[in-house]
Protein backbone atom coordinates (compact mmCIF):
# COMPACT_ATOMS: atom_id res chain seq x y z
CA UNK A 1 0.00 0.00 0.00
CA UNK A 2 1.28 3.45 -0.83
CA UNK A 3 2.18 5.68 2.10
CA UNK A 4 2.13 8.79 -0.13
CA UNK A 5 -0.67 11.20 0.71
CA UNK A 6 -3.19 11.42 -2.13
CA UNK A 7 -2.40 15.08 -2.60
CA UNK A 8 1.40 14.61 -3.08
CA UNK A 9 2.29 16.40 -6.29
CA UNK A 10 3.88 14.21 -8.94
CA UNK A 11 7.48 15.15 -9.70
CA UNK A 12 7.46 17.02 -13.00
CA UNK A 13 8.81 14.94 -15.82
CA UNK A 14 10.30 17.09 -18.52
CA UNK A 15 10.54 15.75 -22.03
CA UNK A 16 10.77 16.88 -25.63
CA UNK A 17 6.98 17.38 -25.54
CA UNK A 18 7.03 19.04 -22.12
CA UNK A 19 10.44 20.74 -21.85
CA UNK A 20 11.71 22.72 -18.85
CA UNK A 21 12.18 26.41 -19.65
CA UNK A 22 15.80 27.01 -18.66
CA UNK A 23 18.16 29.95 -18.43
CA UNK A 24 21.66 30.11 -19.86
CA UNK A 25 24.11 31.09 -17.12
CA UNK A 26 27.53 30.93 -18.82
CA UNK A 27 28.78 31.19 -22.39
CA UNK A 28 32.58 30.99 -22.56
CA UNK A 29 34.79 30.58 -25.63
CA UNK A 30 37.11 27.61 -25.31
CA UNK A 31 38.90 28.37 -28.57
CA UNK A 32 41.42 31.20 -28.95
CA UNK A 33 41.02 34.20 -31.22
CA UNK A 34 43.27 32.63 -33.89
CA UNK A 35 41.38 29.34 -33.90
CA UNK A 36 39.50 28.19 -37.00
CA UNK A 37 36.69 27.13 -34.68
CA UNK A 38 34.33 28.73 -32.24
CA UNK A 39 33.78 26.05 -29.61
CA UNK A 40 32.15 27.10 -26.37
CA UNK A 41 31.53 26.02 -22.82
CA UNK A 42 27.88 26.64 -21.94
CA UNK A 43 26.24 26.40 -18.53
CA UNK A 44 22.49 26.00 -18.14
CA UNK A 45 20.60 26.28 -14.88
CA UNK A 46 18.37 23.43 -13.76
CA UNK A 47 17.19 25.40 -10.71
CA UNK A 48 13.56 24.74 -9.97
CA UNK A 49 13.32 21.78 -12.34
CA UNK A 50 14.22 18.88 -10.08
CA UNK A 51 16.02 17.42 -13.10
CA UNK A 52 18.77 14.90 -12.35
CA UNK A 53 21.24 13.49 -14.83
CA UNK A 54 24.08 10.99 -14.71
CA UNK A 55 27.53 11.22 -16.25
CA UNK A 56 27.18 10.02 -19.85
CA UNK A 57 23.68 11.45 -20.37
CA UNK A 58 22.72 14.00 -23.01
CA UNK A 59 20.73 17.22 -22.92
CA UNK A 60 18.01 17.97 -25.46
CA UNK A 61 17.61 21.62 -26.46
CA UNK A 62 14.77 23.19 -28.41
CA UNK A 63 16.23 26.31 -30.02
CA UNK A 64 14.58 29.14 -31.89
CA UNK A 65 15.62 30.37 -35.33
CA UNK A 66 17.72 33.43 -36.05
CA UNK A 67 15.31 36.42 -36.27
CA UNK A 68 17.31 37.91 -39.18
CA UNK A 69 16.82 34.70 -41.20
CA UNK A 70 13.10 34.74 -40.36
CA UNK A 71 12.88 38.28 -41.77
CA UNK A 72 14.83 37.28 -44.91
CA UNK A 73 12.45 34.40 -45.43
CA UNK A 74 9.33 36.55 -44.96
CA UNK A 75 10.71 38.97 -47.55
CA UNK A 76 11.57 36.13 -49.96
CA UNK A 77 7.97 34.91 -49.62
CA UNK A 78 6.80 38.46 -50.36
CA UNK A 79 4.77 38.29 -47.14
CA UNK A 80 4.41 40.73 -44.25
CA UNK A 81 4.88 38.32 -41.34
CA UNK A 82 1.62 38.97 -39.55
CA UNK A 83 -0.44 36.63 -41.75
CA UNK A 84 -2.16 33.93 -39.67
CA UNK A 85 -0.92 30.38 -40.33
CA UNK A 86 -1.98 27.06 -38.86
CA UNK A 87 0.78 25.13 -37.15
CA UNK A 88 1.05 21.33 -37.17
CA UNK A 89 -0.56 21.30 -33.70
CA UNK A 90 -3.59 23.15 -35.10
CA UNK A 91 -2.77 26.46 -33.38
CA UNK A 92 -3.16 29.61 -35.44
CA UNK A 93 -0.38 32.19 -35.04
CA UNK A 94 1.34 34.87 -37.11
CA UNK A 95 3.73 33.62 -39.81
CA UNK A 96 6.70 35.37 -38.14
CA UNK A 97 6.15 33.56 -34.83
CA UNK A 98 5.67 30.16 -36.52
CA UNK A 99 8.89 30.59 -38.51
CA UNK A 100 10.80 31.80 -35.44
CA UNK A 101 9.74 29.12 -32.99
CA UNK A 102 8.07 26.12 -34.55
CA UNK A 103 9.49 25.32 -37.98
CA UNK A 104 12.79 24.08 -39.39
CA UNK A 105 13.75 26.75 -41.93
CA UNK A 106 17.47 26.21 -42.56
CA UNK A 107 17.46 22.98 -44.61
CA UNK A 108 14.90 22.35 -47.34
CA UNK A 109 12.37 19.51 -47.26
CA UNK A 110 11.91 17.37 -50.36
CA UNK A 111 8.19 18.05 -50.31
CA UNK A 112 8.92 21.75 -50.75
CA UNK A 113 11.06 20.94 -53.81
CA UNK A 114 8.18 18.84 -55.16
CA UNK A 115 5.71 21.65 -54.57
CA UNK A 116 8.05 24.17 -56.22
CA UNK A 117 8.52 21.84 -59.22
CA UNK A 118 4.75 21.52 -59.53
CA UNK A 119 4.49 25.29 -59.55
CA UNK A 120 6.77 25.36 -62.61
CA UNK A 121 10.41 25.47 -61.39
CA UNK A 122 11.71 23.20 -64.15
CA UNK A 123 15.27 22.96 -62.82
CA UNK A 124 13.87 21.50 -59.60
CA UNK A 125 11.66 19.14 -61.60
CA UNK A 126 14.82 17.83 -63.30
CA UNK A 127 16.56 17.36 -59.96
CA UNK A 128 13.66 15.22 -58.77
CA UNK A 129 14.30 12.58 -61.46
CA UNK A 130 15.52 9.37 -59.76
CA UNK A 131 18.82 9.40 -61.70
CA UNK A 132 19.58 12.92 -60.37
CA UNK A 133 19.26 12.02 -56.68
CA UNK A 134 22.96 12.74 -55.98
CA UNK A 135 22.60 16.16 -57.64
CA UNK A 136 19.49 16.89 -55.58
CA UNK A 137 21.38 15.94 -52.41
CA UNK A 138 24.26 18.25 -53.36
CA UNK A 139 21.81 21.05 -54.23
CA UNK A 140 20.04 20.80 -50.87
CA UNK A 141 22.86 19.73 -48.54
CA UNK A 142 26.22 20.02 -50.38
CA UNK A 143 29.14 21.33 -48.34
CA UNK A 144 29.28 25.13 -48.76
CA UNK A 145 26.74 24.88 -51.60
CA UNK A 146 23.49 23.90 -49.91
CA UNK A 147 20.41 25.93 -50.89
CA UNK A 148 17.98 27.02 -48.21
CA UNK A 149 14.42 28.32 -48.69
CA UNK A 150 15.63 31.89 -49.14
CA UNK A 151 18.07 30.80 -51.88
CA UNK A 152 15.38 28.87 -53.75
CA UNK A 153 12.69 31.52 -53.45
CA UNK A 154 15.16 34.11 -54.73
CA UNK A 155 16.44 31.85 -57.51
CA UNK A 156 12.89 31.21 -58.76
CA UNK A 157 11.05 34.53 -58.33
CA UNK A 158 8.12 33.12 -60.30
CA UNK A 159 7.33 30.84 -57.33
CA UNK A 160 4.50 32.10 -55.17
CA UNK A 161 3.46 30.37 -51.93
CA UNK A 162 0.82 31.67 -49.56
CA UNK A 163 2.12 31.78 -45.95
CA UNK A 164 -0.30 28.99 -44.97
CA UNK A 165 0.76 26.84 -47.93
CA UNK A 166 4.46 27.40 -47.18
CA UNK A 167 4.27 26.57 -43.47
CA UNK A 168 2.49 23.29 -44.28
CA UNK A 169 5.57 22.21 -46.27
CA UNK A 170 7.97 22.74 -43.36
CA UNK A 171 9.23 20.26 -40.80
CA UNK A 172 8.73 20.87 -37.09
CA UNK A 173 11.81 22.35 -35.40
CA UNK A 174 13.77 19.29 -34.21
CA UNK A 175 15.52 19.39 -30.83
CA UNK A 176 19.30 19.00 -30.77
CA UNK A 177 21.13 16.66 -28.39
CA UNK A 178 24.36 17.49 -26.55
CA UNK A 179 26.62 15.28 -24.43
CA UNK A 180 26.62 16.63 -20.90
CA UNK A 181 30.09 17.85 -19.92
CA UNK A 182 29.54 18.13 -16.15
CA UNK A 183 28.83 15.99 -13.11
CA UNK A 184 25.83 16.98 -11.02
CA UNK A 185 27.91 16.11 -7.95
CA UNK A 186 30.41 18.84 -8.87
CA UNK A 187 27.82 21.36 -10.15
CA UNK A 188 24.45 20.93 -8.41
CA UNK A 189 21.48 22.23 -10.45
CA UNK A 190 23.62 22.96 -13.46
CA UNK A 191 24.41 21.33 -16.75
CA UNK A 192 27.51 22.12 -18.82
CA UNK A 193 27.94 21.59 -22.56
CA UNK A 194 30.89 21.80 -24.97
CA UNK A 195 29.53 22.99 -28.29
CA UNK A 196 31.13 23.74 -31.65
CA UNK A 197 29.32 26.71 -33.17
CA UNK A 198 28.30 25.77 -36.72
CA UNK A 199 28.63 28.52 -39.31
CA UNK A 200 29.49 28.54 -42.99
CA UNK A 201 28.91 30.50 -46.17
CA UNK A 202 26.87 29.31 -49.13
CA UNK A 203 25.77 31.37 -52.14
CA UNK A 204 27.33 34.49 -50.59
CA UNK A 205 25.09 34.25 -47.52
CA UNK A 206 26.18 33.46 -43.97
CA UNK A 207 24.53 30.28 -42.77
CA UNK A 208 24.20 29.39 -39.10
CA UNK A 209 23.62 26.13 -37.28
CA UNK A 210 20.35 26.71 -35.45
CA UNK A 211 21.04 25.45 -31.93
CA UNK A 212 24.77 26.09 -31.67
CA UNK A 213 24.39 29.75 -32.75
CA UNK A 214 21.29 30.10 -30.57
CA UNK A 215 23.51 29.17 -27.62
CA UNK A 216 26.46 31.26 -28.78
CA UNK A 217 24.56 34.44 -29.72
CA UNK A 218 20.87 34.52 -28.84
CA UNK A 219 20.24 32.82 -25.48
CA UNK A 220 20.90 35.48 -22.88
CA UNK A 221 19.37 37.55 -20.10
CA UNK A 222 15.85 36.43 -19.25
CA UNK A 223 15.44 34.40 -22.44
CA UNK A 224 14.49 30.82 -21.66
CA UNK A 225 14.70 27.76 -23.88
CA UNK A 226 13.12 24.34 -23.64
CA UNK A 227 15.43 21.57 -22.41
CA UNK A 228 15.02 17.92 -21.44
CA UNK A 229 17.32 15.10 -20.42
CA UNK A 230 18.05 12.01 -22.46
CA UNK A 231 19.38 9.09 -20.49
CA UNK A 232 22.20 7.29 -22.25
CA UNK A 233 22.82 4.85 -19.40
CA UNK A 234 21.96 1.85 -21.57
CA UNK A 235 24.94 2.39 -23.86
CA UNK A 236 27.26 5.05 -22.39
CA UNK A 237 27.90 4.82 -18.67
CA UNK A 238 30.76 4.80 -16.20
CA UNK A 239 31.76 1.38 -14.85
CA UNK A 240 29.80 0.73 -11.65
CA UNK A 241 33.03 -0.44 -9.99
CA UNK A 242 35.01 2.71 -9.21
CA UNK A 243 38.27 0.69 -9.33
CA UNK A 244 37.88 -0.12 -13.05
CA UNK A 245 40.41 1.69 -15.25
CA UNK A 246 38.96 3.70 -18.16
CA UNK A 247 40.44 4.78 -21.48
CA UNK A 248 38.58 7.71 -23.05
CA UNK A 249 39.03 8.85 -26.65
CA UNK A 250 37.39 12.23 -27.18
CA UNK A 251 38.72 14.60 -29.83
CA UNK A 252 36.98 17.95 -30.35
CA UNK A 253 33.60 18.24 -28.66
CA UNK A 254 33.83 14.49 -28.10
CA UNK A 255 35.68 15.36 -24.91
CA UNK A 256 32.46 16.60 -23.28
CA UNK A 257 31.22 13.43 -21.56
CA UNK A 258 34.76 12.62 -20.40
CA UNK A 259 34.96 15.88 -18.45
CA UNK A 260 31.71 14.68 -16.83
CA UNK A 261 33.17 11.21 -16.14
CA UNK A 262 36.29 12.70 -14.57
CA UNK A 263 34.37 15.18 -12.41
CA UNK A 264 32.07 12.36 -11.29
CA UNK A 265 34.91 9.97 -10.41
CA UNK A 266 36.72 12.74 -8.56
CA UNK A 267 33.60 13.69 -6.58
CA UNK A 268 32.98 10.04 -5.68
CA UNK A 269 36.63 9.49 -4.73
CA UNK A 270 36.86 6.60 -7.16
CA UNK A 271 40.39 5.29 -7.46
CA UNK A 272 40.22 3.59 -10.89
CA UNK A 273 42.87 4.87 -13.31
CA UNK A 274 41.75 7.42 -15.94
CA UNK A 275 43.41 7.89 -19.35
CA UNK A 276 42.17 10.53 -21.81
CA UNK A 277 43.11 10.95 -25.47
CA UNK A 278 42.14 14.46 -26.58
CA UNK A 279 42.70 15.94 -30.03
CA UNK A 280 42.07 19.27 -31.68
CA UNK A 281 43.70 21.45 -34.30
CA UNK A 282 46.19 23.59 -32.34
CA UNK A 283 47.48 23.42 -28.77
CA UNK A 284 47.69 27.22 -28.40
CA UNK A 285 44.11 27.80 -29.62
CA UNK A 286 42.07 24.66 -29.10
CA UNK A 287 43.12 22.95 -25.87
CA UNK A 288 39.68 22.83 -24.20
CA UNK A 289 39.65 22.72 -20.39
CA UNK A 290 43.47 22.81 -20.36
CA UNK A 291 43.76 24.07 -16.79
CA UNK A 292 41.35 21.53 -15.36
CA UNK A 293 42.89 18.63 -17.26
CA UNK A 294 46.51 19.53 -16.50
CA UNK A 295 45.54 20.03 -12.84
CA UNK A 296 44.24 16.48 -12.80
CA UNK A 297 47.41 15.25 -14.52
CA UNK A 298 49.54 16.99 -11.87
CA UNK A 299 47.43 15.41 -9.11
CA UNK A 300 48.05 11.97 -10.60
CA UNK A 301 44.31 11.57 -11.22
CA UNK A 302 44.56 11.60 -15.03
CA UNK A 303 46.87 10.31 -17.72
CA UNK A 304 46.50 12.60 -20.74
CA UNK A 305 47.69 12.20 -24.32
CA UNK A 306 46.98 14.97 -26.81
CA UNK A 307 47.00 15.06 -30.60
CA UNK A 308 47.08 18.58 -31.99
CA UNK A 309 46.57 17.81 -35.65
CA UNK A 310 47.80 21.06 -37.19
CA UNK A 311 50.81 21.85 -35.00
CA UNK A 312 53.17 20.03 -37.39
CA UNK A 313 53.40 19.36 -41.12
CA UNK A 314 52.03 15.84 -40.81
CA UNK A 315 48.57 15.45 -39.19
CA UNK A 316 48.53 13.66 -35.86
CA UNK A 317 45.24 12.22 -34.64
CA UNK A 318 44.13 10.51 -31.42
CA UNK A 319 44.43 7.08 -33.06
CA UNK A 320 48.12 7.79 -33.75
CA UNK A 321 48.61 8.48 -30.04
CA UNK A 322 46.75 5.28 -29.17
CA UNK A 323 49.06 3.29 -31.44
CA UNK A 324 52.16 5.02 -30.07
CA UNK A 325 51.01 3.82 -26.65
CA UNK A 326 49.92 0.40 -27.91
CA UNK A 327 51.76 -1.58 -25.21
CA UNK A 328 50.08 0.30 -22.38
CA UNK A 329 46.67 0.34 -24.08
CA UNK A 330 46.86 -3.44 -24.43
CA UNK A 331 48.04 -3.79 -20.79
CA UNK A 332 45.15 -1.66 -19.53
CA UNK A 333 42.65 -3.69 -21.59
CA UNK A 334 44.06 -6.93 -20.21
CA UNK A 335 43.73 -5.46 -16.72
CA UNK A 336 40.01 -4.92 -17.31
CA UNK A 337 39.91 -1.33 -18.60
CA UNK A 338 36.81 -0.04 -20.34
CA UNK A 339 37.30 1.75 -23.68
CA UNK A 340 35.16 4.80 -24.51
CA UNK A 341 34.90 6.84 -27.72
CA UNK A 342 32.92 10.04 -28.27
CA UNK A 343 32.74 12.55 -31.14
CA UNK A 344 32.74 12.47 -34.92
CA UNK A 345 31.01 9.37 -36.22
CA UNK A 346 31.81 9.46 -39.91
CA UNK A 347 35.61 9.47 -39.78
CA UNK A 348 37.18 9.50 -36.31
CA UNK A 349 35.19 6.68 -34.69
CA UNK A 350 35.90 4.30 -37.58
CA UNK A 351 39.61 5.16 -37.59
CA UNK A 352 39.89 4.71 -33.81
CA UNK A 353 38.12 1.36 -34.11
CA UNK A 354 40.62 0.26 -36.78
CA UNK A 355 43.52 1.38 -34.54
CA UNK A 356 42.09 -0.57 -31.61
CA UNK A 357 41.97 -3.71 -33.78
CA UNK A 358 45.60 -3.17 -34.86
CA UNK A 359 46.75 -2.73 -31.24
CA UNK A 360 45.05 -5.98 -30.23
CA UNK A 361 46.64 -7.77 -33.20
CA UNK A 362 50.18 -6.52 -32.64
CA UNK A 363 50.32 -6.44 -28.85
CA UNK A 364 48.05 -9.43 -28.23
CA UNK A 365 49.63 -11.51 -31.00
CA UNK A 366 46.26 -12.09 -32.62
CA UNK A 367 45.06 -12.57 -36.18
CA UNK A 368 42.57 -10.02 -37.58
CA UNK A 369 39.74 -12.50 -36.90
CA UNK A 370 40.87 -13.05 -33.32
CA UNK A 371 41.19 -9.29 -32.80
CA UNK A 372 37.62 -8.90 -34.05
CA UNK A 373 36.49 -11.57 -31.59
CA UNK A 374 38.33 -9.75 -28.79
CA UNK A 375 36.60 -6.46 -29.70
CA UNK A 376 33.21 -8.19 -29.98
CA UNK A 377 33.75 -9.63 -26.51
CA UNK A 378 34.61 -6.14 -25.17
CA UNK A 379 31.38 -4.82 -26.68
CA UNK A 380 29.33 -7.69 -25.28
CA UNK A 381 30.76 -7.11 -21.81
CA UNK A 382 29.94 -3.37 -22.20
CA UNK A 383 33.63 -2.53 -21.96
CA UNK A 384 33.71 -0.77 -25.38
CA UNK A 385 31.19 2.07 -25.34
CA UNK A 386 30.67 4.75 -27.95
CA UNK A 387 28.63 7.91 -28.23
CA UNK A 388 29.25 9.17 -31.75
CA UNK A 389 27.38 11.69 -33.87
Ligand X SMILES: Cc1cc2nc3c(=O)[nH]c(=O)nc-3n(C[C@H](O)[C@H](O)[C@H](O)COP(=O)(O)OP(=O)(O)OC[C@H]3O[C@@H](n4cnc5c(N)ncnc54)[C@H](O)[C@@H]3O)c2cc1C
Separation CA 3–CA 374 (nearest Å) = 50
| Closest approach of ligand NAP to the CB of residue 258, in Å | 13
- Among ligand X, ligand NAP, none, residue 256 binds (CB under 5-8 Å by kind): ligand X
| Closest approach of ligand NAP to the CB of residue 357, in Å | 15
| Closest approach of ligand X to the CB of residue 64, in Å | 11
320 binds ligand X (CB under 6 A): no
Separation CA 223–CA 64 (nearest Å) = 11
Q: Which residues pair with 305 in a beta bridge?
A: 277
Among 21-29, 74-82, 111-119, 248-256, the segment contacting ligand NAP (CB under 6 A): 248-256
Give the Å distances, CA to CA, from 190 to 4, 57, 152, 211. 29, 13, 42, 19
The interface with ligand X within residues 164-193 (CB under 6 A) comprises 176-179, 193
Separation CA 31–CA 53 (nearest Å) = 27
Among 234-242, 249-257, 294-302, 365-373, the segment contacting ligand NAP (CB under 6 A): 249-257
256 binds ligand X (CB under 6 A): yes
| Closest approach of ligand NAP to the CB of residue 185, in Å | 25
Q: Return the residue of 143, 221, 291, 298 that touches ligand X, per CB under 6 A.
A: 143
31 binds ligand X (CB under 6 A): no
116 binds ligand X (CB under 6 A): no
Asked if residues 343 and 250 have their Cβ atoms less than 8 Å apart, the reply is yes
Separation CA 333–CA 142 (nearest Å) = 41
For 82-124, list the strands marked E by DSSP.
84-86, 92-94, 103-104
| Closest approach of ligand X to the CB of residue 217, in Å | 11
Q: Which residues neighbour 140 within 8 Å (Cβ) at sequence distance 6 or greater?
A: 107, 108, 110, 113, 146, 147
Q: Which residues neighbour 62 within 8 Å (Cβ) at sequence distance 6 or greater?
A: 16, 19, 173, 175, 225, 226, 227
Separation CA 339–CA 349 (nearest Å) = 12
- Residues in contact with ligand X, counted by CB under 6 A, come to a total of 24
Q: Return the residue of 161, 287, 317, 330 that touches ligand NAP, per CB under 6 A.
A: 317
Count of CB atoms within 10 A of residue 156's CB? 17
| Closest approach of ligand NAP to the CB of residue 216, in Å | 13
Q: Return the residue of 347, 365, 368, 373 that touches ligand NAP, per CB under 6 A.
A: 347
Residues shown for the chain: 389
Closer Cβ to ligand X, 169 or 216, answer by number: 216
269 conformational bin, left if phi > 0, alpha if psi -120 to 50, beta if neither: left
| Closest approach of ligand X to the CB of residue 210, in Å | 4
Q: Return the residue of 64, 253, 281, 319 that touches ligand X, per CB under 6 A.
A: 253
Separation CA 222–CA 25 (nearest Å) = 10
Q: Lay out the site mask for ligand NAP across 203-242 (x = CB under 6 A, - = otherwise).
A: ----------------------------------------
Residues that bind ligand X (CB under 6 A): 58, 106, 143-144, 146, 176-179, 193-196, 198, 200, 202, 209-212, 253, 256, 387, 389
Residues that bind ligand NAP (CB under 6 A): 37, 39, 196, 251-253, 279-281, 309-310, 315, 317-319, 343-344, 346-348, 351, 389
Amino acid sequence: MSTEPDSAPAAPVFSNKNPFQARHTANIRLTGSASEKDTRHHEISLAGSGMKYMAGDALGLIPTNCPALVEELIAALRAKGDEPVTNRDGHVKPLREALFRDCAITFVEKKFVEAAAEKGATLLKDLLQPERSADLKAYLFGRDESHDYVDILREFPELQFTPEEFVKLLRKMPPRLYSIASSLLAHPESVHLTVATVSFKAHSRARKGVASTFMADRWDGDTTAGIFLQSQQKHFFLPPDGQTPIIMVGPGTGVAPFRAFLEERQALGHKGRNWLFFGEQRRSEDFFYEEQFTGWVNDGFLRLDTAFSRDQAQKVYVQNRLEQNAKDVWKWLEEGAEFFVCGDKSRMAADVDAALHRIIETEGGKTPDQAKEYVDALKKAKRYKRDVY
